[in-house]
Structure 1
């Protein structure tokens, strides 16, 4: 049986690309603002906050793309949601550990770190909203109806 493609992959790829771009922009802006506010400690606090704030949404979208590899198999839903939710649980634990470690570092400017973290998270949410509102995927786009032959493309 040939493997089918899933219509949500372009949306996830766009999300991955634009979240990465937005994370890089926030990282540079946070580094510059941190440098102006608190010198090298502010610079690294901004970089750390932006990295943590951008990396976690990027991992989420990547896990969804990875989960889509099982599309067309009987265990697709179990694999997709197992991967996505498993990665989410690991991310929550890693995030809490990362925040605890960062709070213990003496050189971190917490205000610069926090602002960079929130800016990266908000940028990711804005990107997600824009992508979801502009995607053109039907609610039943990947459904094969009786009588459809596998070779003919759906309009």
Structure 2
């Protein structure tokens, strides 16, 4: 009959504690030294995370506060894309820079149909263009279209 292998004796370590020595079994517990300065870091180093969204026109990822939310109004037949000014309308949303160039790219790429996942979607680009320009003006990010407009705005009557 084969003999059983002898088991190694359990090693113990005596740790000094404020209330007296304490025996710890090395086989059951793993002792680690934790640097508390790493755990409790300076809160000023933490940056607040902002919700990020991707513009369906230019595909850039930006904070949601910089973008305009668009939704498909399904109450109308056929469904129409409208701006959700309060960002509270129900349904799938698509995010877009308040920039006419991004709107043009989104319409050209047919990004709204993919984003809303609705067939027969109608995009009134002229209406959306006017609304997006008004949003850009309200936010103070309206860019003049040409240098001539800039010169005209700066001239005295």
Structure (1/2) with the larger strand percentage: 2
More helix by share: 1
Relative to the length of structure 2, the TM-score reads: 0.21
Structure possessing the higher radius of gyration over alpha carbons: 2
Q: TM-score, normalised by structure 1?
A: 0.21
